[in-house]
Copies of this chain bind each other. A is one copy, B any other.
Amino acid sequence: MEAHKISVTKVMTKKPKPANDQLGFGRHFTDHMFIMDYHIEKGWFDPRIVPYQALTLDPAAMIFHYGQTVFEGLKAYYTDSNEIQLFRPEENIKRLNRSSARMCIPEIDPELALTAIKQLVAVDKEWVPTIEGTSLYIRPFIVATEPYLGVAPAKQYQFIIILSPVGAYYSEGINPVKIAVENQYIRAIKGGTGEAKTAGNYAGSLIAQEKVTNHGFAQVLWLDGYEQKYIEEVGSMNVFFKINGEVVTPALSGSILPGITRMSVIELLKQWGVPVRETKLSLTDLQAAYQQGTLEEAFGSGTAAVISPIGELHYQSHALVLNNNQTGPLAKKLYDTLTGIQYGKLEDAFNWTVSLT
């Protein structure tokens, strides 16, 4: 199948678009969506852009019972030169296929996936919001559709892409958050599905997120599943700490999602000559650095917030106040650089952006 043969059926009547200040996250969807089917005897077939519409699935479809699914999240940005560009979409597609391998889902031709994303965004380009900090969130996902109650990899799937215009994450500028260490629930363990972007990881994390939210915190700090001693992720972001001039982040040990923003942060730091180390980092080490006054900054990284500075870290009876609860200079520089590249304000020295045209 040639990658460019995507059929397009456009809507007769376009939906009204939400106002810029009403965007929020993941609540509004554009006029069109991409769908492609898979059958074990045919492979992937019939890639198509169609009007945004409900999925019609047998109640026995395996997605509802055994959760065989993977997803991705990336964004299209409206640039100062009135163009639309994507940020490292090839990395999302690579990760989608790695997630699929773990979940026994057939892989997708990366070239076709990229074409599908670009073409869909182009069809709905009027939905890319133009106000600073806004973007068009792109959600590719694959679900097992075969109607069968046996526990086995499905023989039928759908690959779907939907688009959602999203508001600025920091409407009043980048702001530090309070996070709390989770010591009852576990997000993932090596040998499990933690490094795949798959539904079950998120379903399992909801209860811990609810718990900390009820206590006034923004996010959960996840510890390792073995000893509940080593730091893994923050909410659904990767996490970085600047200690005595060096930036440390949990190494990809098998239970941590390999973030694309994480990867970009590491590459930027290396370019800037800032020492950066992927390692096993314990809460005890962090507490020691804090007491010595060498814990300079902490921040999460992810597609939604880009960089999310951590102002306070709570665990047991400890409350670590970081950088006087202000956004640190390194977090700020990373945020400005990444968003600068994403919105086409800064030179893209790494060739990270992909133009729609």
**A12 beta carbon closer than 8 Å to chain B:** no
**Given contacts A153-B210, A162-B60, A225-B225, is CB(A203)–CB(B103) below 8 Å?**
yes
**Given contacts A139-B149, A150-B25, is CB(A104)–CB(B60) below 8 Å?**
no
**Given contacts A102-B207, A189-B186, is CB(A151)–CB(B57) below 8 Å?**
no
Interface size in chain A (residues, C-beta < 8 A): 67
Please, how many angstroms separate the alpha-carbon atoms of A209 and B67 in the complex?
Answer: 15
Interchain CB contact under 8 A, B64 and A151: no
**A66 beta carbon closer than 8 Å to chain B:** yes
Interchain CB contact under 8 A, B199 and A204: no
Interchain CB contact under 8 A, B59 and A225: no
Please, how many angstroms separate the alpha-carbon atoms of A143 and B171 in the complex?
Answer: 33
Q: How many identical subunits does the complex contain?
A: 2
Interchain CB contact under 8 A, A67 and B191: no
Residues of B within 8 A of A152 (CB): 206, 209
Interchain CB contact under 8 A, B193 and A184: no
**A291 beta carbon closer than 8 Å to chain B:** no
Residues of B within 8 A of A58 (CB): 29, 54-55
Interchain CB contact under 8 A, A69 and B191: no
**A192 beta carbon closer than 8 Å to chain B:** yes
Q: List 27 A-B contacts (CB under 8 A).
A: A25-B150, A26-B60, A27-B149, A29-B59, A53-B59, A54-B59, A55-B59, A56-B56, A59-B160, A60-B139, A63-B63, A65-B71, A66-B199, A67-B67, A67-B69, A67-B199, A69-B203, A103-B207, A137-B149, A151-B206, A151-B235, A186-B192, A188-B192, A191-B228, A198-B204, A200-B201, A200-B203
Listed in ascending order, the chain A residues whose CB lies under 8 Å from chain B are 25-27, 29, 33, 52-61, 63-69, 71, 102-104, 137, 139, 141, 143, 147-153, 160, 162, 164, 184-193, 198-207, 209-210, 225-226, 228, 235-236
10 additional contacts, CB 8 Å, given A60-B162, A60-B164, A66-B203? A26-B148, A26-B150, A53-B59, A63-B63, A102-B207, A149-B164, A151-B205, A153-B206, A187-B192, A225-B226
